[in-house]
Amino acid sequence: MATATPEQTTSQRAEVVLDVIRTRRVVRSFTDEPISDADLRTILEAGRWALSAGNRRINKFLVVQDPKRIRLVRAVSPGMLARPTALIVILTDTEKAAREQVQLDKDLNTWIDVGTAAQNMSLMAHALGLGSCPATSFSRSGVAAALALPPTMLPEFILQLGHPAPQQRVMRPGASTRLPIDALTFWERVGQPLPRR
């Protein structure tokens, strides 16, 4: 059998990555099956490799699997409609931020760092056959109390994780279908379309 050329290997790898991105969906219905520690570690590894402004790495990840603690977090999180079997809470380490001279009230890069870590972890969860759902609507002080966080750790984002339960996908009324890349992109100048293939 012929060996794949470097171009084919790169192209095949790109297609696999794009397929994971294309097929990932928010999952809001989970089974009771726990997530293995190995899968959680792989998801965390994906978060570790996310972009970080200036490579400052002021975010930490807290894994929560205890059902009682998850229930407490859900009680102060109106955005958590799902019943996940695990959470990864993205925290900002304010002591590390101070050492790195990050002004948390002014530096918008901190939000980008949270988002890229969350996206990496969500994509990896999907690649592992797991489901994920973001939660950004929660009481910071309530989550901090529920998880006994030290005052130097601020909860920024909650990634809900679990094995997807079968569910019918329903689009909300008026939701648009997926737009083609041409509808979202200009080439060189605003108003100039992508070149034809």
pLDDT of residue 194: 82
174: in domain: no
175: in domain: no
Nearest to 59 by CA among 142, 146, 159, 138: 159
Residue range(s) defining the domain that contains residue 71? 21-167
Q: Considering the entire predicted model, what is its pTM? A: 0.86
In contact, 160 and 87? CB cutoff 8 Å: yes
193: in domain: no
75: in domain: yes
In contact, 43 and 161? CB cutoff 8 Å: yes
3: in domain: no
Domain of residue 74, CATH code: 3.40.109.10
SS3 137: coil
d(C-alpha 11, C-alpha 63), whole Å: 34
d(C-alpha 115, C-alpha 157), whole Å: 9
Binning pLDDT at 50, 70 and 90, where does residue 195 land? Answer: confident
Percent of the chain with pLDDT over 70: 91
For Cα atoms 87, 93, 95, give the angle at the middle one, nearest 5 degrees. 160
7: in domain: no
Identify the bridge partners of residue 91 per DSSP, sorted by sequence position: 60, 155
pLDDT of residue 38: 98
Convert the pLDDT of each residue in 130-148 to its tens digit: 999 999 999 999 999 999 9
Number of domains, the chain = 1
For Cα atoms 176, 179, 185, give the angle at the middle one, nearest 5 degrees. 135
Stretch (H or E) spanning 192: none
69: in domain: yes
154: in domain: yes
